[in-house]
Amino acid sequence: MVTSDLTTPDLTTNLCGIELENPVIPASGTFGYGYEFAEYYDINCLGTFSFKGTTLEPRFGNPTPRIAECREGMLNAVGLQNPGVDNVISKELPKLKRCFNKPVMANVSGFSIEEYTEVCRRLDTEEQIGWFEVNISCPNVQGGGMHFGTDPESAAAVTKAVKAVTKKPVIIKLSPNVSDITEIAKACEEAGADGLSLINTLVGMRIDLFRRRPVLANTTGGFSGPAVFPAALRMVYQTAEAVNIPIVGIGGVSSAEDVIEMMMAGACAVEVGTANLIHPYACRDIINDLPKVMRKYNIHSLKEITGAAHPCQKM
């Protein structure tokens, strides 16, 4: 039903106690440290963004090739390439501060509980960081990453350890590569997580028909893009039924309609990933489209639709 109400819809939302002007968040690994995209548009239009996954020491990442195209998406096996937490603090964040005046989400990765906690401890004093997004679900590295996100006890252990070194909200990023994502979600909630983000990429691969070998040097990589949206939406919906903490929906989002669908499934904010790599203005355009789409569906405030698709609406 199309509404005749011409008042400006309310795009604001709240993520773990911090108010956002809108729910659109570029996902980690697709937006660098922000200032790169500031050359294209004013990134202060964003709700916030999750900066590139950061580890304790610098990482070069996986061997090349580490990107592969596929229908309705892409595969990546970048392998958490980043300059390390000390360089992020001394070089990346000062450059970001000159072009972004809102709290930013720090995406943190690690290969041990000690690494997760140390990275968060060093970043904790950085004023511009509003949230920690703790990635326990990266499928593109060996000896860590996704290991912590596929076992409830390990996920809970990381959550508890990180919560002990920071007072900032801790959002745990979950893997879809499990039999029941709600079990991991509940373990993180019980361990003190302030929120959850889901989903990370699905594991996939491509084969070069001429070489008769995998396209990616890593053999497998993270599958993302529009094709994963229905699977991501299903997991957000199921997780919203299982927990009572905020959810950031991720996975194949590329339009304002996708944002609203994710929020109706139970998300209070939505990350946009692969779309940024295809079209650098994707998040800006989604934000600009939201008021028109909200009017189309008679939505006056985004806060009122979080969880609206559930039989007993969750707020």
| Catalytic center residues | 138
**Residue 103 in contact with residue 79, Cβ under 8 Å?**
no
What is the CA angle 219-220-221, rounded to 5?
130
Alpha carbon dihedral 182, 184, 189, 190, in 10-degree steps, equals 110
Angstrom distance (rounded) from CA 64 to CA 270: 30
Output the six-digit token pair for 13: 């939302």
- CA-wise closest residue to 52 among 72, 73, 35, 70: 35
Largest CA distance in the chain: 59
Angstrom distance (rounded) from CA 96 to CA 36: 9
User: 129 pairs with which residues across the strands?
Assistant: 104
- CA-wise closest residue to 182 among 231, 266, 238, 138: 238
What is the CA angle 294-298-304, rounded to 5?
75
